[in-house]
Amino acid sequence: MINTNELTIFVNSCDLYADAWPLFFTLFKQNGGKILHYPIVLATEKKHYCFEDMKIHTISSGFQSTWSKRMVTSCQQIESEYFLFTLEDYFLLSKFNYEEFNKIFSFMKADKNIGYVGFSRRTDVKQNCGQWSVLDLTKQRMNLTVSIWKKDFFIKLLRKHESIWDFERYSHIRALQYNYIALTGNLSTPEIYRYMQPSSVENGKNAVGGGYGIIRGKWFKETQKLTEEYGVKVNFANLGFYEPQTQDGKKDVTLTKQYPLIIQKIINRYRKYKHRLVKWLEKRRLEKSYH
Q: Which residues are 85's β-sheet partners?
A: 10, 147
CB 158 within 8 A of CB 71: yes
Could you read off the pLDDT of 150-199 as tens digits, one per residue?
999 999 999 989 999 999 999 999 999 998 999 999 988 999 999 865 54
Q: What is the CA radius of gyration of the chain?
A: 20
Long-range contacts of residues 222-229, Cβ cutoff 8 Å, at least 24 apart? 222/196, 222/198, 223/23, 223/89, 223/91, 223/196, 226/23, 226/27, 226/91, 226/196, 227/23
Specify the DSSP class assigned to residue 47. -
CA 80 to chain centroid = 19
Report residue 45's pLDDT band, with 50, 70 and 90 as the boundaries.
very high
Give the pTM. Answer: 0.81
Residue 200's pLDDT is what?
45
**Across all residues in the chain, what is the average pLDDT?**
84
Residue 257's pLDDT is what?
46
Between 174 and 264, the more confident residue is: 174
Q: Which CATH number fits domain 7-185: 3.90.550.10, 3.10.450.50, 3.40.50.300, 3.40.630.70?
A: 3.90.550.10
CA distance 170 to 174: 7
CA distance 112 to 91: 30
**What is the phi/psi pair of residue 35, to 5°?**
-65, -20
Average pLDDT over residues 121-138: 84
With H, G, I as helix, E, B as strand and everything else as coil, classify residue 105. Answer: helix
Report residue 17's pLDDT band, with 50, 70 and 90 as the boundaries.
very high
> How many C-beta atoms lie closer than 10 Å to residue 261's C-beta?
8
Residue 206's pLDDT is what?
42
CB 37 within 8 A of CB 4: yes
User: How far, in Å, are 39, 85, 127, 128, 274 from residue 50 at the CA level?
Assistant: 14, 19, 42, 43, 41
> How many C-beta atoms lie closer than 10 Å to residue 189's C-beta?
22
What residues have CB less than 8 Å from 5, skipping those under 6 apart? 79, 80
CB 16 within 8 A of CB 231: no
Report residue 215's pLDDT band, with 50, 70 and 90 as the boundaries.
confident
Listed range (152-156, 238-242, 251-255) with the worst mean pLDDT = 251-255
Torsion, CA 124, CA 193, CA 24, CA 242, rounded to 10: 30
Could you read off the pLDDT of 68-90 as tens digits, one per residue?
999 999 999 999 999 999 999 99
CA distance 79 to 88: 21
